[in-house]
Structure 1
Amino acid sequence: MRPAAVTVVPPADGLGGGGVQYELKLDGFRCVAFARGDRPAFLQSRSGRDLAPEFPPIAAAVARLPEGLVLDAELVAWRKGRFAFEELLHTRQARAAATDVVLGLIAFDLLALPGRDVRRLPLADRRRLLLAALADVPPPIQPVMATTDRAEALEWMDQLADTGVEGLVCKALASPYRPRGAGRTWVKYRRSDTLDATVRALTGPAARPHALVLRLDDGRVFLTTPRLTPVQAREVAQVAGPLLGPPATDPDHGQVHPLTAPLRAELTLTGRPPTATFVRLRGD
């Protein structure tokens, strides 16, 4: 099941009644973990590929679970007090050599118990079974932090922002597990950071620009997306027009209209890799 993106965390009655479970949204590799007894564990990625050979410590931990247990989970890396997605992209050998990198498997759903498919059960029942199944299981396998209290979930998200927690996944407590899609019974809310940046250039026609090339104070450069609305394009053209220099070719963004004087803008950064969305020009 894949949650749909939303811009607001739903209330407790916001996913069709029956209550909502709020879970921390983590930055890692989604996988379904199969404990297979005498056979090696299988860590199925979204594309169907087995991740077990790349993550032996996680595969070994899953192999110790009862045969027939199936978990829906996030494979994560932890380094220096933060979730470190980039460590998952390194080779197995590089991770093994990094003594400060810890791998984990954070389980957020239970799909099967030994000899029993539980996907048709409501999420509330699957959560109870998940906690029971993992009650005596040590790290690196852990259940995800979850609550039915929206205020508590928002507090967690704020308190754990510095650790790299991305946001919340919100699920109807009555929802079964549907392999072909979650519909609107599972949704994800992703935290966005609002920042100020310097406008370096405009793309598209100078009179109706399509996007802004922005430079953050930390040196990162972004092209805003999605395309500016007609109202935004008109306002940007009006303010930036007197500051534009001759058209130039940018190696990353093609033909642009560079600015010859500083102009500040507000944007939001969301997701991984970050996407920059234009909010407004700064009045100051």
Structure 2
Amino acid sequence: MYKLPTLQELLEAGVHFGHQVRRGHPRMRPYIYGAREGVHVIDLTQSEKYLKEACEFVYELGKSGKVLLLVGTKKQAKPIIEELAKEVEAPYLVARWMGGFLTNFEQMQKNMKILKNYLEEKEKGKLSKYTKKEQLLLERKMLKLQKDFAGVMDFNKVPDAVFVVDAVSDNIAIREANRLNIPVVAIADTNSDPTEISYLIPGNDDAIKSIKVLVGAIASAYGEGKKEAGKAAVKEAEKAEKSKEKEKKAETEIAETLQVEVAVAEEMVEKKAVKEAERVIE
């Protein structure tokens, strides 16, 4: 089972530090404990409560075999998102949010297909058909696409939920998800609009320690859910195998019974034929 960080761990990671009071969003007031030296202080009891709810949601998501897309394009979040996403085998975007990634997903798939075809041709040495200038231009374009689509190359459908580290800098991702009614899980700092987020986690989205502890909890919960899904799939496969064996055994028993019955019937017919022959001779 996944482990949630304690209040002490949240405090040590600096999850309670918000933005300057003047930058605060009025709708975040219910999640703010107070202010100190002109900086908002987030109520950690609420951070703990909402983190637990978010983790329960992503755990069930993983358990039911659904896809969670992790998004973190700010500098300090990139390596954390990439590392944890790879650990739980989840798709991720860290280079930048491409406008229309969700709302125009068909076009994104076409771009990914172009990139895959290019990489295949390059591997097979088929790029010699282009001039040196064309190869150079193509290489530049593909390097950009490769950077953008690095974490979603095998992504073939719109995600079932989206996790966002910074609800302000990656607000387009949240808006696109809302437009498609895709649940959003996000860290909500004091400058965020919580009404756009399905499962908000009040917390510091700037400090590396804070991002690491919050993203770590989400990734861990999703990963554990996926493990449970795997166990369930194995049990279902074993159950199906046992059912097949049982059916096969039943079919074998029926076949053997039929053989015995046929043999008995043939013997009776043979005896009857012998008796008939004896009567004719007499």
TM-score normalised to the size of structure 1?
A: 0.25
TM-score (norm 2): 0.25
Normalized per residue, which structure has more helix? Answer: 2
Larger Cα-atom Rg: 2
Structure with more contact order per residue of length (Cα contacts < 8 Å, sep ≥ 6)? 2
